[in-house]
Amino acid sequence: MRFSFALSALGLTSQVPLQPSLPESSTMTTAQKSFQFVEGPDVFTPKDLVELGRTGAGVANQAGDFVLIPYSKFSFEEKKNHKNIYVAPLESSVQPFKLPLTEGGEAFWLNGRTLAYVLESEQKTLEIFALDLLYEPATNESVGVLSSKPPVLLGTFPTTSASNFRYSTDGYLVFSDSVYPDGNLTTVKEQDEAWENRGNTALVYDHTYERHWDHWVGPKTQSLFSVRLVQDPDHKWTFGSEFVNLLAGTEHSSPVEPFGGTDDFDVSKQSVIYTTLDPAFKDERAWHTKQNVYIVGITGGKPRELTSGSQGATHNPVLNHVGDKAAWLELDEDGYESDRAKIVIYDLKKNVRFTLTQKWDRSPGSLVFSKEGEFIYFTAGDHAKVKVFVLPIPSTPEKSTTDPQLSPKYLSPVPIVKDSASSGLQSLPYGRILISKSSFTSPNDVYLVKGLDALQTQITQSDESVKFSGEVEQVTNFTASDLEGKNLSKGEEFWFKGADDIDVQGWILKPKGWKKGETKAFPVVLLIHGGPQGAWEDQWSTRWNPNVFAQQGYFTVAINPTGSTSFGQAFTDAIAGDWGGKPFVDLQKGWKYILESYPEIDSDRAVAAGASWGGYAINWIQGHPEYNFGFKALVCHDGVFDSSYNGFSTEELFFFNHDWRGRPWDKDSEQVLRKFNPVNFVHKWGTPQLVIHGSKDYRLPETDGIGAFHALQQLHIPSRLVIFPNENHWVLNHGNSLKWHYEVFRWFDQFVGKKD
Ligand SMILES: *[C@@H]1O[C@H](CO)[C@@H](O)[C@H](O)[C@H]1NC(C)=O
Ligand SMILES: *[C@@H]1O[C@H](CO)[C@@H](O)[C@H](O)[C@H]1NC(C)=O
Ligand SMILES: *[C@@H]1O[C@H](CO)[C@@H](O)[C@H](O)[C@H]1NC(C)=O
Ligand SMILES: *[C@@H]1O[C@H](CO)[C@@H](O)[C@H](O)[C@H]1NC(C)=O
């Protein structure tokens, strides 16, 4: 943490003088008061948000009767983030059991009752332990008890950076680690030392990426490894010493940086499937998105490509349980990251590949085979929710095809979980899947979906459309007590006619203390999401949480304008080349609709905030006073100021090239830039603006924030710059997150707070 809690709660007011040129006005008087959050036992404050426990995705064992649950909770008092792993029996009321281990490691299942646990020791080596669970189920006389035997050390890894563990029941552990060009895990430590002691700190590049997301790219790349991890007949576990680089001799790198993890590969008994950037573009990574899928033996060999070669990005490759079919998500267009993802199935026996969701206008986000392999479960955004769907897998066609002839039951995914936002699918025996789910009112929890056997039978036997009638049962409940009595808003949907009379959706959250009919009683904030190919979904966020704004007393409006995902591909695609166009027609119309519909809103106390594309939107609105939003203050977090410069300075160049119709110097792009670059309209700026930027934001370098601040200052517009030197495109550090909220709400309060 950069600042102590006390300092960060006070803000930097004493260190950063307010603008001496500010006119004497009521706003000035308000600014001089020291700002405090709205607090109280019934208020969910920013501090509560930061300190609320965070439940990770559950991982069940093969038998599907126990689940591992990562859980972390930050404490300002201790200045410590407690990271623990719990185990809970599924379908039992026995309390989750906290593993008796040092905080902060990674765990995975070895078998039904044994876990492996990987943790860095005090001697700075990465150790692997086995831990046997002990379980006494509940009886009529006693409650059930879960405990464990003491952990047993199995061995150490050659590095401390091994991660993303997946265990194959055939006795191999597959994981990722980063290696030097020799690809050899056992030489990494030595080469790390040589690199650290090279006598200078220069980084030299002949090709992109030179930096990515929040770090400068070094000499190492990600690769996948396998090592023997097997139980002897006398139940003793043995950890091998030979680490096989499964991608040796290729130009492949998986998981794919910067966000790839266990979703980028999967293991069956014999094989490992993975996605990697197309090696043909190894020197042009920054402007290509094409990723190929390969399969390789679990002990190595020559990887075999499964993709056709004409795809764009691929994600989430998976193998079915018996290992004779693979599936992944595939996009069509190289150089775009938001075209429609489709499910592709690959029959490994027949060597035939076919697309399953060619005709479905939604974009699946993750997928998994059912345990028996006859169905595929997947998540997809749909009208600002992330739902779980299922499709039966048709028999494999004769030849590979992207558009197979399919009867209706294979074309219409059946929704299973329709509310809020699901993720982290895992299929379990007996017609069940495990998911994580969150909403505006509750952070992620683990849920068990039951009764899918009956649904699958119905789908198989009927040609009519079928409905899921099973149960969705909550497994974890770590945070409920902390949220009790806070009365968080569920969010209400609204629809209005946007640009070209297309139906556009948004959310509104009423403020704490809202009473019907109290006219002009509450300030209002418009939140603008990033992407722009993203959406405000009925989902929990630890960064931009609409309820935190509502709890501070603001009517909170979150609109999904043109470019947003989950409303069909045409709506998402329509923002390309039109950043300053249709989305702002949508936002103006939605804003008008809200002001007309809620007399409780005081439109003289309106503010807006956005990050990334949302920050572009703030800078764009600054330059377009004729939109008449009437905002009294703006907040721009990591936003685009100069789009042309951004087309050169961002690391993922494909993104600009796609959305601005070419490179910054291309004719088409130049025209779009002339129309839609915020810097071209700075002369019209006039609204007080807070600018926030992270110095490790390499997607949108901090000079965009600094540039906007310099413009505001020279125009004598009340403005403030907040820099987080150690944050990337997101503010993740707990203390910084609280400071972020402090500065944002303090800024709003200065201009639209109650004058008393
Ligand atoms: C436990 O209680 C149930 C219902 O009260 C009863 O049917 C069952 O026989 C009891 N089991 C034992 C082992 O006592
Ligand atoms: C990796 O390096 C070690 C130590 O230099 C060496 O013994 C081993 O043979 C190398 N492995 C491979 C696969 O080259
Ligand atoms: C979660 O805990 C809260 C109280 O802390 C309780 O009211 C609620 O019923 C629990 N929900 C589940 C699904 O266990
Ligand atoms: C909770 O919020 C709703 C909607 O804002 C409001 O109608 C209700 O009175 C609130 N309940 C409590 C107990 O504050």
String of DSSP letters for 648-690:
HH-S-HHHHHHHTTS-TTSHHHHHHHHHH-GGGGGGG--S-EE
What is the chain's length? Answer: 756
Q: Whose CA is nearest to atom 5 of ligand 2?
A: 187
Six-digit token string for 452 = 């899918």
So what's the pLDDT on residue 14?
32
Q: What is the pLDDT of the chain when averaged over all its residues?
A: 94
Chain centroid, CA 490 distance in Å: 21
Nearest CA, atom 14, ligand 2 = 184
Q: How far is the CA of 139 from the centre of ligand 1 (A)?
A: 8
Ligand with smallest separation from the Cα of 189: 2
Q: 405-449: per-residue pLDDT in tens?
A: 999 999 999 999 999 999 999 999 999 999 999 999 999 999 999
- Cα of first residue to Cα of last residue in the chain, in angstroms, is 35
Q: Does the beta carbon of 93 lie inside 6 Å of ligand 3?
A: no
Q: What ranges make up the beta strands (E) of 575-645?
A: 601-611, 631-637
Domain boundaries, the chain: 53-160, 163-481, 491-752
- Whether the predicted pLDDT of 474 surpasses 80: yes
* Nearest of 131, 120, 142 to residue 98 by alpha carbon: 131
Per-residue model confidence (pLDDT) at position 564: 98
Assess whether the C-beta atom of 693 lies below 6 angstroms from ligand 4. no
Q: Cα separation of 570 and 646, whole Å?
A: 25
Which numbered atom of ligand 3 lies nearest the CA of 474? 13
Distance 624 CA to ligand 4 centre (A): 37
- Pocket of ligand 4 contains residue 510 by CB under 6 Å: yes
Task: State residue 657's pLDDT score.
Answer: 98
What residue's CA is closest to ligand 4, atom 11?
487
What is the CB neighbour count within 10 angstroms for residue 525?
28
Note the ligand closest to the C-alpha atom of 473: 3
**Residue 285 to residue 290: CA distance in whole angstroms:** 9
Report which ligand 3 atom has the smallest distance to the Cα of 481.
Answer: 5
| Contact (Cβ atoms closer than 8 angstroms) between residue 721 and residue 691 | yes
- Spacing, Cα 147 to ligand 1 middle (Å): 25
Establish whether residue 187 lines the binding site of ligand 2, counting it when its CB lies within 6 angstroms of any ligand atom.
yes
Confidence bin at 634 (pLDDT 50/70/90):
very high
pLDDT at 756: 59
Instruction: Output the pLDDT for position 32.
Output: 52
CA dihedral 523, 529, 532, 534 (to 10 degrees): -140
pLDDT of the residue at 23: 40
Q: Report which protein residue has its CA nearest ligand 3's atom 14.
A: 477
Q: Ligand 4 center to residue 71 CA distance, Å? A: 30
Whether the CB-CB separation of 431 and 419 falls below 8 Å is answered with no
CA-based Rg of the chain, rounded to a whole angstrom? 27
Q: What value does the mean pLDDT take over residues 704-712?
A: 98
Cβ-contact 555, 635 below 8 angstroms: no
Each residue's pLDDT tens digit, 146-187: 999 999 999 999 999 999 999 998 999 999 999 999 999 999
pLDDT of residue 3: 27
- Candidate CATH numbers 3.30.1490.190, 2.120.10.30, 3.90.1150.10, 3.20.20.70; the one for domain 163-481: 2.120.10.30
Mean pLDDT over residues 105-114, rounded?
Answer: 95
522 CB neighbour count, 10 Å cutoff: 20
Separation of 510 CA from ligand 4 center, angstroms? 9
Q: Is 30's pLDDT higher than 70? A: no
Q: Ligand 4 mean position to 523 CA, how many Å?
A: 18
Reported as a single tens digit per residue, the pLDDT across 239-277 is 999 999 999 999 999 999 999 999 999 999 999 999 999
- For residues 536 and 586, is the Cβ–Cβ distance under 8 A? no
- Phi, psi angle pair for 158, to nearest 5°: -70, -20
Atom of ligand 2 nearest to the CA of 245: 13
Q: Which residue is closest in CA terms to ligand 2's atom 7?
A: 186
Decide yes or no: CATH 3.40.50.261 for domain 491-752. no
Task: Kindly give the number of the ligand 4 atom that is closest to the alpha carbon of 512.
Answer: 5
480 C-alpha to center of ligand 3: Å? 6
Which atom of ligand 2 is nearest to 244's Cα?
13
List C-alpha distances in Å: 262 to 166, 168, 175, 179, 266: 8, 13, 8, 18, 7
Instruction: Tell me if 477 CB under 6 Å of ligand 3.
Output: yes
What's the pLDDT tens digit per position in 392-417?
999 999 999 999 999 999 999 999 99
In the chain, the amino acid numbered 163 is S
Return the bridge partners of 435, or none: 447
Residues sharing a CB contact under 8 Å with residue 57, sequence separation 6 or more, in sequence order: 70, 423, 424, 436, 444, 446
**Per-residue pLDDT tens digits for 48-73:** 999 999 999 999 999 999 999 999 99
pLDDT value at residue 28: 45
Q: How many angstroms separate the CA atoms of 145 and 581, rounded?
A: 61
The pick from 483, 507, 512, 514 for probing ligand 4's pocket by mutation, whose C-beta has the most ligand atoms within 8 angstroms, reads 514
Per-residue model confidence as pLDDT tens digits over 370-398: 999 999 999 999 999 999 999 999 999 99
Nearest atom in ligand 3 to 477's CA? 1
From ligand 2's centre to the CA of 184, what distance in Å?
Answer: 6
Q: Is the pLDDT of residue 16 over 90?
A: no
% of the chain residues with pLDDT over 70: 96
Among protein residues, the one whose CA lies closest to atom 1 of ligand 2: 184
491-752: same fold as 163-481? no
Q: Which residue has the higher pLDDT, 22 or 593?
A: 593
The CA–CA distances, whole Å, from 487 to 169, 347, 353, 442, 564 equal: 46, 50, 50, 11, 29
For residue 654, give the amino acid letter: F
Give the angle subtended at the CA of 643 by the CAs of 640 and 645, to the nearest 5°.
105
Residue 442 CA to ligand 4 center (angstroms) comes to 16
Whole-number Å distance, alpha carbon 419 to ligand 4 midpoint, is 21
| Pocket flag, ligand 3, residue 474 (CB < 6 Å) | yes
Q: Confirm or reject: Cβ of 191 under 6 Å from ligand 2.
A: no
- Check pocket membership of 395 for ligand 3, CB cut-off 6 A: no
Average pLDDT over residues 573-597: 98
d(CA 396, CA 676): 48
Contact between residue 221 and residue 178 where contact means Cβ atoms under 8 Å apart: yes
CA 38 to ligand 4 center in whole angstroms: 17
User: What was the pLDDT predicted at 144?
Assistant: 85
Q: Specify burial of residue 372 (Cβ count, 10 A radius: 0-12, 13-18, 19+).
A: middle
| Residue carrying structure tokens 């399919």 | 406
DSSP 36-64: ----STT---HHHHHHS-EE---EE-TTS
pLDDT confidence band for 25 (50 / 70 / 90)? very low
Residue 124 CB-density burial (10 A; 0-12 exposed, 13-18 middle, 19+ buried):
exposed
If you measure from the C-alpha of residue 538 to the centroid of ligand 4, how many angstroms do you get, rounded to a whole number?
Answer: 19
DSSP string covering 423-449: EEEEEETTTEEEEEEE-SSS--EEEEE
